[in-house]
């Protein structure tokens, strides 16, 4: 029975959960939680910042993985931030 090197399983885990690229991972979760009303604006902004830092880290050190998580953080955080700001402006303007 062939044995797999110990680092082979580590690569799979690092690809699915980029624990070596903390900014990308944190940005991903901030992006997901930015879907929460009111909290979405600061969490979305944080997701974009962490996503950019995570993308930079993945570019400098390819073993850290996390490019997909970083891109999800940037896109989702940006969209939710703009969406919540737009919703606040739209519904806030109606009260005047």
Chunked mean pLDDT (size 10), the chain, 96 residues: 57 75 95 94 97 94 90 97 94 73
Distance CA 59, CA 36 (A): 30
pTM of the entire structure?
A: 0.81
Task: Please check whether residue 43 is in contact with residue 36, taking contact to mean a CB–CB distance below 8 angstroms.
Answer: yes
Query: Which of 64, 68, 39 has the alpha carbon at shortest distance from 51?
Result: 68
Please give the tally of structural domains in the chain: 1
Confidence at residue 73, expressed as pLDDT on a 0 to 100 scale: 97
> What pLDDT, on the 0 to 100 scale, is given for residue 18?
80
Residue 8, in any domain of the structure: no
In a domain, 85, yes or no: yes
Specify if 44 maps to a domain: yes
Q: Which domain holds residue 60?
A: 18-93
Q: Is residue 5 part of a domain?
A: no
């Amino acid at each position: 029975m062939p044995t797999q090197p110990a680092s082979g399983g580590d690569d799979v885990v690092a690809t699915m959960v980029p624990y070596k690229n903390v900014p990308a991972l944190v940005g991903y979760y901030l992006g997901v939680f930015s879907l929460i009303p009111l909290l979405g604006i600061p969490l979305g902004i944080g997701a974009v910042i962490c996503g950019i830092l995570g993308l930079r880290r993945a570019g400098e050190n390819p073993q850290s993985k996390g490019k997909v998580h970083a891109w999800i953080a940037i896109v989702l955080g940006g969209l939710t931030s703009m969406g919540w700001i737009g919703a606040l402006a739209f519904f806030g303007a109606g009260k005047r």
